[in-house]
Amino acid sequence: MVSVTVDPSGTFLTLETRFGSTRFHAIWLRDNAQDPQTRSTGNGQRLVALRELPSDIRIASAAIEGTGVSISFEPEGKSIIFDLSWLDENAYDRTAAKERGWLAPQVETWSSDLMDNVPSGDFAELEKGGAALRDWLALVVRYGFGKVIKGPVQSGALFKVVDLFGYVRETNYGRHFEVRTEVNPTNLAYTGLGLQAHTDNPYRDPVPSVQVLYCLESSAAGGENMVVDGFAAALRLREENEDHFNVLANHCARFEYAGEDGVCLTSRRPMIELAPDGELIGIRFNNRSLAAVTDVPFEHMSTYYEAYRHLGEIIDDEAMEVTFRLEPGEAFVVDNTRVLHARKGYSGEGTRWLQGCYSDKDGLRSRYDAMVRETVREAAE
């Protein structure tokens, strides 16, 4: 049984459904109305600014009508029907206090136990779109990375991977960059040395949120790719020492890159980034690019460095890593705000050539969410 009651003040109503009791403010309801005078039927964007709505708006009456609730607002004298399922989906009265570091429901943390089940997609099937692409994108959203296999072995093929979900983000490294051994390199990524797991470009604001690495040659011994779930590492840090988690979340680190003429990139962000409500939303960890930390008070600096060392030890723990080798025609896509990547050292014999580029996950999430909504629409027809 569904019922609705309006508070005597008219400032909110209470909706009783099988999911429980939920309250909604009058101003919230009016601002989120879906009628064609308030929202564009073509794109869903608001046609009315908040300043155009009465500041003393109240609910005059409300009644259940089929699968919706009809609400009359005063002093406008306007009645609008709200879909009950939409209200349930967007209810905000159920929000309970959450522990710092909580994760969005679509995110699943992992460790080395994912080694035998690396999320992968066949390039030819992904290019067709449809369920294959949607399901692969779902895995990238859930785990923060995914492989592409059986792609063309040709220079520039990485752009075709980006075309699956978004657009290339050009940087001072160009539209793409080459990853192969160089003499006197400007970046350690261009040597045969092993690299500690890290997020890329922490010195940028905004940081590139997606990285693509595409393999074209791979005959050198070693050089396996490795990924570590930064969210899992941060939550393990919280479990082992909450003070260490808090000090890295509460204070900004500084990052810098000035390895080229005319380039001096700097940023000031915490290693563990939380939203105001405590959601874990980002990791920035790159020992090569960490500048002098100056935003931590003297009395907390020793703890900060203990926490930094502690997080690094967790990241270096083999129990946290998933390792795989990229063969020619294979690539991996990584959420650079969450997943750290690394490379094992490789020999000077043979060849190893990868191409890399950056993109942004708003495009990836947009493509995935649009495909999910289309699937739901088709199922309802």
- Supply the DSSP string of 218-257, one letter for each residue: E-SSB--EEEEEHHHHHHHHHHH-HHHHHHHHHS-EEEEE
Considering the domain architecture, whether residues 75 and 183 belong to the same structural domain is answered as: no
CA-atom Rg of the chain in angstroms: 25
Q: Which of 89, 123, 155 is the last residue of a domain?
A: 89
In this prediction, residue 180 carries a pLDDT of 80
Interatomic CA distance for residues 22 and 274, integer angstroms? 27
Q: Which of 89, 124, 141 is the last residue of a domain?
A: 89
Q: Is the dihedral of CA 252, 241, 109, 120 positive or negative?
A: positive
Q: Residue 376 domain-assigned?
A: no
Residue 116: domain span: 112-371
Considering the domain architecture, whether residues 215 and 67 belong to the same structural domain is answered as: no
Percent of the chain with pLDDT over 90: 84
Confidence grade of residue 305 (pLDDT, cut at 50, 70, 90): very high
The tally of domains found in the chain comes to: 2
Considering the domain architecture, whether residues 33 and 162 belong to the same structural domain is answered as: no
Confidence grade of residue 58 (pLDDT, cut at 50, 70, 90): very high
Considering the domain architecture, whether residues 153 and 198 belong to the same structural domain is answered as: yes
Confidence grade of residue 188 (pLDDT, cut at 50, 70, 90): low
Q: Residue 294 domain-assigned?
A: yes
In sequence order, which residues have a C-beta less than 8 Å from that of residue 153 and are 6 or more positions away? 216, 328, 329
Q: Residue 102 domain-assigned?
A: no
Considering the domain architecture, whether residues 171 and 80 belong to the same structural domain is answered as: no
Average pLDDT value over all residues in the chain: 93
In this prediction, residue 343 carries a pLDDT of 80
Considering the domain architecture, whether residues 194 and 304 belong to the same structural domain is answered as: yes
